[in-house]
Amino acid sequence: MTQNNTVQNNMSDHFPLSDQKGTNCNVINLSLTRQLAKKKKPLTPDKLVRIVARHHTFLASGGAGGKWKTILLKGLVFGIYDGGEGSKGKQANFEHAHILSNCFFNDLALPFSNWCGVFADRLNASGIELSHSLLTDASLVSANFSGARLCNADFSRADLRGANFRDADCAGVDFENCDLRGADFRGARLPNARFLGVRLEEVRY
């Protein structure tokens, strides 16, 4: 066995299915997705406080437990939440939003939230709870998810170059077709996580 094959086998042992190709996503226009989000007015810290409060009310009134579906429209991906219909509050929706690093998500609880196509490079989100959330097609370059709870979240096709997942709980996370070059997974939990078609150059684990 060559050294390259040995390295690849070690990577696929730690990052399940990373030796396999992901789904063809040529019909998705990631460039247009980024443009759409970057043109929007950035989220403000005050608005974030209101979003979190309404989301907690939504979850408490029966909003948890739903499943995410996605639809493709003119090259853009949108999320649809099926089930878990809360009777009060409002589900947190950051779909195609523009989030700057001055909005701090550290230790916030936002499970079952929508981040599809968000532009949030250098996101401050250490210790965040994002289980069962949708983060497909997101730009999250150098985002900090250290110590986060991300169980069963979907990051498919997200740009996660240099992202920090140290000590994060990534059980069941879908990383299919993600760009994970330079990402840090040291201490992260990865049972049942999926890494089909990912880029893993210089990843730390």
SS (H, E, C) 130-179: CCCCECCCCECCCCECCCCECCCCECCCCECCCCECCCCECCCCECCCCE
Residue 181 clears pLDDT 80, i.e. is over it: yes
Q: What is the pLDDT of residues 30-42, one digit of tens each?
A: 999 999 999 999 9
Distance between CA atoms of 27 and 24, rounded to whole angstroms? 8
Pick from 182, 112, 117, 204: nearest CA to 155: 117
Distance between CA atoms of 160 and 144, rounded to whole angstroms? 10
Domain limits at 147? 1-205
Distance between CA atoms of 65 and 30, rounded to whole angstroms? 29
The alpha carbon of 154 is separated from its chain's Cα centroid by a whole number of angstroms, namely 6
Q: What is the pLDDT of residues 47-78, one digit of tens each?
A: 999 999 999 999 999 999 999 999 999 999 99
The pTM score is 0.94
Distance between CA atoms of 65 and 68, rounded to whole angstroms? 10
Q: What is the pLDDT of residues 70-107, one digit of tens each?
A: 999 999 999 999 988 889 999 999 999 999 999 999 99
Distance between CA atoms of 196 and 87, rounded to whole angstroms? 37
Over range 117-139, report the average pLDDT. Answer: 98
Give residue 9's pLDDT band: very low, low, confident or very high (50, 70, 90): low
**Which pLDDT score is estimated for 145?**
98
Q: How many domains does the chain have?
A: 1
CATH of residue 19: 2.160.20.80
Task: Give the total residue count for the chain.
Answer: 205
Residue 134 clears pLDDT 60, i.e. is over it: yes
Residue 6 clears pLDDT 90, i.e. is over it: no
Distance between CA atoms of 46 and 104, rounded to whole angstroms? 11
Q: Are strands 76-82 and 67-73 parallel, antiparallel or unpaired?
A: antiparallel
